Amino acid sequence: MVLFEACHNEPACLQDKAGLEAITQLHRQLDDDANGNVDLSESDDFLREELQYDSGYEKRQRAFHHNDDMHISVKELWEAWLRSEVHNWTVEQTVEWLSQSVDLPQYKTLFLQHKVTGATLPRLAVNNMQYLSNVLGIKDPIHKQKLALKAMDVVLFGPPKGNVQFL
C-alpha cells in the first residue's frame, strides 16, 4: 500500500497516521493520471481549477515542486509537509490563519477547544470533510468548502500569499 511505502516505520508516520492518510488522499486528488507522481501540469491544473488562481500562482507551484522536482511522490509530499512552515504552526497561528486568511473568525473557539495546529490541517483539506463535520461540528457547507480549499492550499503550497505574517 502506498501509505506505508511512504512511511518506513518513521516516528512521524506512526504518530500521525491520520495526517499521512490525508496527505495520501490529497496526492491522489492531484495525480490525475494515477501514475503515482504529481507532475507540473497536474499541479498547474490544480492551482487553476481547484484553488482558482488566475495569476500569481507560479511562486506557489515552485514551492510545491521544490528543487525543480517535476514528479512528486506520496513519500516526497509527506516529507515536504513535515518540513513545511505550516506543519509547525501553533494553535494560535492556525487560529490567526482561520481569522485572517480564511475569514471565518466565528470558528476560533472551536479551533482553540480542539487544539487545531498546522499539523491538523491536512485532515481539514481532504474531501470527505469528516474532521470538519464530526470533530469540529461545522455544519455550513459553504464554510466547510472554504475551509477545505484554504487548508488544501496551505498544506500543498505553503503559507498564504500576501502580507499576513504567521510568526
**What's the length of the chain?**
167
pTM equals 0.74
Q: Identify whether the C-beta of residue 3 lies closer than 8 Å to the C-beta of residue 21.
A: yes
pLDDT exceeds 70 at position 4 = no
Contact 46, 125 (CB under 8 A): no
Calculate Rg over the CA atoms of the chain: 15
pLDDT digits (tens, 9 = 90+) for 58-109: 555 555 545 554 677 888 888 889 989 999 999 999 999 999 999 999 999 9
Percent helix, strand, coil in the chain, to 5, is 65, 0, 35
pLDDT of residue 42: 63
Q: Please, are residues 116 and 87 in contact by the beta-carbon 8 Å criterion?
A: no
- Domains of the chain in sequence order: 12-83 (1.10.238), 86-157 (1.10.150.50)
Residues near 71 by beta carbon (within 8 Å), at least 6 away in sequence: 37, 38, 39
- Higher-scoring residue by pLDDT: 13, 145: 145
| 3-class state of residue 105 by DSSP | helix
Alpha-carbon distance 84 to 121, whole Å?
Answer: 12
Q: At what angle do helices 17-30 and 141-157 cross, to 10 degrees?
A: 90
| Rounded (5°) CA angle 100-105-109 | 130
Whole-angstrom Cα distance, residue 120 to residue 19? 7
Compute the distance between CA of residue 140 and CA of residue 90 in angstroms, rounded to an integer.
25
Angstrom distances, CA of residue 112 to CA of 84, 96, 105, 117:
22, 11, 11, 9
pLDDT in tens, 149-167: 899 889 988 898 764 554 4
